[in-house]
Amino acid sequence: MSVVVAYHVYGAGGFGREVAQVIDDIESDHVQFAAFIDDADAPTPETLAWGPVHRASDLGVLAGLHFLVGIGSPSTRRSVTERAITAGMRAGPAVVHPRAWRGRFVEVGIGSIVCANASLATGSRLHEHVHVNLNATIGHDAVLHDFVTVAPGANVSGFVTIEAGAELGTGAVVLPGVTIGAGAVVGAGAVVSKDVRPGVTVVGTPAKPIQR
């Protein structure tokens, strides 16, 4: 008997709907979109067009079911993941869009989402609850730890390490061998040629820390 994974997408905003689209595009009898989970009082018409919306306060009735988090912010994604697991939900298997390119010996952890036209080169590893957005590239042997977000069009080179909860902005470039520390933020379009310390925000070309 085949097992069907019905995904409940936590977050009904723009990216949540993109995640629903990824699930829909997989076109498998074993994978389907079930519903959204959201904190909003009134779901938008765009959200309701996809299907039902459960209130986050009702997580208990979804115990035992699979979820993915369609929220870009790593810290928020971690928070709602913990909330869903505490309520008895199960982090769903990763979803990879059928138009994404995936090399050999690539690992993608549970709860992770890989969008259309993204590339995962050989030997790259995505840990749990990682987001790789549209047209982003992950180079060979790169390692992305839990709750990393890679925005659309960002380029991660080979042998890069991105530690937990870090975020790369749209079009950012990380050169080979660089380490991005936990919770760091790389601004849109930045080019990172040196390691970035944990919790630091860098911008520009070459990328430099924002002075506070």
Whether residue 149 sits in one domain with residue 85: no
Q: Which of 212, 152, 140, 207 is nearest to 180 (CA)?
A: 207
Residue 42's CB is within 10 A of a number of other CB atoms, namely: 8
Q: pTM, whole model, 2 decimals?
A: 0.94
Q: By the 8 A CB rule, do 159 and 177 touch? A: yes
Which structural domain range is residue 134 located in? Answer: 94-202
Q: How many domains does the chain have?
A: 2
What pLDDT is attached to residue 40? 76
Q: What is the pLDDT of residue 57?
A: 84
Q: What is the largest CA-CA distance in the chain?
A: 58
CA 152 to the chain's CA centroid? 11
Is 135 a member of any domain? yes
CATH number at residue 103: 2.160.10.10
**Average pLDDT by consecutive 10-residue portion of the chain (212 residues)?**
83 93 90 91 81 88 95 96 95 96 97 98 98 98 98 98 98 98 98 98 96 64
Decide if 212 is inside a domain: no
Give me the chain's average pLDDT, please.
94
| CA dist., res. 132 & res. 101, Å (int) | 12
Domain boundary among 45, 75, 91: 91
What is the rounded CA–CA span in Å between residue 89 and residue 9? Answer: 12
Model pLDDT, residue 2: 60
Residue 45 is predicted with a pLDDT of 84
107 and 50, same domain (yes or no):
no
